[in-house]
Chains A and B, each alone.
Chain A
Amino acid sequence: MDLSVGLTTSSSVEMVKWFAHNADGLGLRGVWIGEDIGRPQEIFTVTSLILLETKRVNVGIGVASPFIRNITTVARAAAALSEISSGRFRLGLGVGGLQDLASMGVQVEKPLESMRRTLQTLRSIWRGETSVTDKELRLENYKPQYGHPVDTPVFMGVRGPKLLSLAAELADGVILSGPREYVKESIELIRERRLAAGLTERGFSFVLWVPTIMLSDERDLELAKKVVAVVVADTPDRLLETAGVSTDEVNTIRAIMRGSGAKEAARNVSDKLVDEFCISGDAERICEIFRSYSSLGINEAVFGPPYGRNPKDAIQQVAKAWGRT
């Protein structure tokens, strides 16, 4: 099992540069960069900053939405990133938050069908097919000229049985986020679907990325509760039920979130809810919890955000603890 670090497009460039400068020396497997739609940094450019500065770590986008840009932008950005990566780049795709998409005037009516089409078309483009046509994606006799075939592993960051089944069938890995029970069920579902499709588990990666935070004192716990309030408010009820989480408790948090914001809502987040939705503790404890997911089938765990009140220190401590254990 490997340890990676998570960044997002909300991370400052200063943080990204610090990480890029230190990543190879921290003994990590890699970094995943999540796209917070509408936030300051641009996902492909941030990814390029880290790839250009590092030599060893894997660098993945985890995840970006193909629906807020022309599919050819995803294809050629990934091609360029793959070219500078020496085989270290991984592309994660997800539908994107429905509210975020709506804020950009994007409606995805059939996410399953759209994701399938997107993945299949990306692979056609990357294989170097001389002409790609797909009316739904508005491609007509598209002629990619990237100069090299692209063999980038594609991960899917998705929820729900249908999309997870699609990931099992078409992707090289999946990025899972949610309570432990949900993660366990998702892995079982994917294994089942791959088996049914005659695919082996070999070469398919399960990545766990849930909010993680190193706790030093009470103020870190407050930060953890705030993050959990935001996460549970956006979590589908079906997933809450899978995890055995009371929807009444979550509905209260949602109502306060809408009225007064995350800080107030955090007051109603119980310790149990924190344990379900967030991995927290000191560095050793966090590593211990990560390793416990290995028995479920997770190959790679992602630390952060929110890390703790001092993110750089937290990343260094968790990386060191991982090396020791």
Chain B
Amino acid sequence: MQLGLNLNINDAIPETMAKSREAERLGLDYIWISDLPSQRYAPVVASAAASATERIRIGFGLISPFLHTPQQLASPLTTLMEAYGERFELCIGPGDRDQLRRVGVDLDRTEGIPTHLLKAKDKIQGSLRDRGFGCKIWLGAQGPKLLEIASSFDGVLLNYSSPRMIEWALRIIRKAKGEMPERVGIFAPSYVYKSFRPEIHRILQYASATVALGASRSVLEQFSFSEMLEPALKKFASGTLESSVLKLIPSMVIEEFSILKCQHDLPTYLDELRRLGIDHVVFAYPQGYSIETIRELAEALSRGMR
């Protein structure tokens, strides 16, 4: 099983470099750097992370081909691969609807999102091939429409953590084309701890709530979350996740989208994921909150068999 850490692009870049170095030293396989329109530009952050490390694989993503053209996604990759070696990968997906809308990309009025993603993937691969490079392109997916195209990608990252949701997603992927992508992973807000810190747990709740509230309608309906989330969704319409919204979200919903484990319990959870067919786990923010939380994760991982 490959294990990765998602770094927060809200961090100052020197901090990201220090955390990348630590993730590599502790033996993690990947760091993932997301791209959001309101935050630091991921290729520059990835470049800084690469300059601080030697071998850890670096994933850009999730990054949206609705904001960047395929050429604009491929060219930073080739520049970085030429400079730092072929240790970069890419995860594309529609992106954060609210943030994209603020910069002129309205996904709600965009037709054929799956087709656009498939075309983007082909063009990116073509650009990379023209330059003599190749890299894995992952799909960040959640709802049925995207799950149905997942096997056309090198890997899929599912945006939830609960075994029942993962099983459901894998069934859809398999049913759509009768095959699975080469890699199947999850990408979920995480807090694996040695000594529990309420302030980090609070960040985890916010991060998970953001994912849950942004989940596709079909996912919410499939798991009977729609009714449970209705009051929160109404209040969240302004796009700001305040504590009053968080209070309206049942904790069981938050748990389905996040990994909250004490060190001792992590190996059992990873075994469960392995049994389902998951071979890549990205511990998303706030696991990368500090060097200490990264070390707590690494300690937990060293307890279990990879």
Contact = CB atoms under 8 A, between A and B. Distances in A.
B102 A141 contact: yes
Interface residues of A, number: 41
Given A42-B75, A42-B79, A83-B13, A143 B38 contact: yes
A40 B130 CA distance: 10
Contacts of A218: none
Interface stretch (B39-47, B187-195, B294-302): B39-47
A1 interface: no
A148 B15 CA distance: 14
Interface string A38-77: 1011101110110011000000000000000111110011
B51 interface: yes
A52 B82 contact: no
Contact of B47 (A38, A52, A71): A52
Given A13-B83, A142-B38, A45 B102 contact: no
A13 B131 CA distance: 12
Contacts of B39: 76, 145-146
For chain B, give the interface size range.
20 to 34
Contact of A142 (B40, B71, B75, B103): B103
B75 A40 contact: yes
Contacts of A140: 101-102, 104
A49 B104 contact: no
Residue picked from B10, B37, B41, B68, most chain A C-beta under 10 Å? B41
B262 interface: no
B113 interface: no
B12 interface: yes
A80 B38 contact: no
B220 interface: no
A138 B103 contact: yes
B40 A76 contact: yes
Contact of A83 (B12, B43, B69): B12
B72 interface: yes
B76 A42 contact: yes
B38 A145 contact: yes
A144 B79 contact: no
A140 B186 CA distance: 32
Interface in B61-109: 67-69, 71-72, 75-76, 78-80, 82-83, 101-105
Nearest to B39: A145
A273 interface: no
Given A72-B37, A83-B13, A143-B102, A13 B45 contact: no
Given A77-B44, A79-B41, A138-B103, 5 more contacts: A45-B43, A45-B44, A45-B76, A53-B51, A76-B39
15 contacts: A40-B79, A42-B76, A42-B79, A44-B44, A45-B76, A48-B44, A76-B38, A80-B13, A80-B40, A81-B44, A139-B104, A140-B102, A141-B102, A143-B38, A145-B10
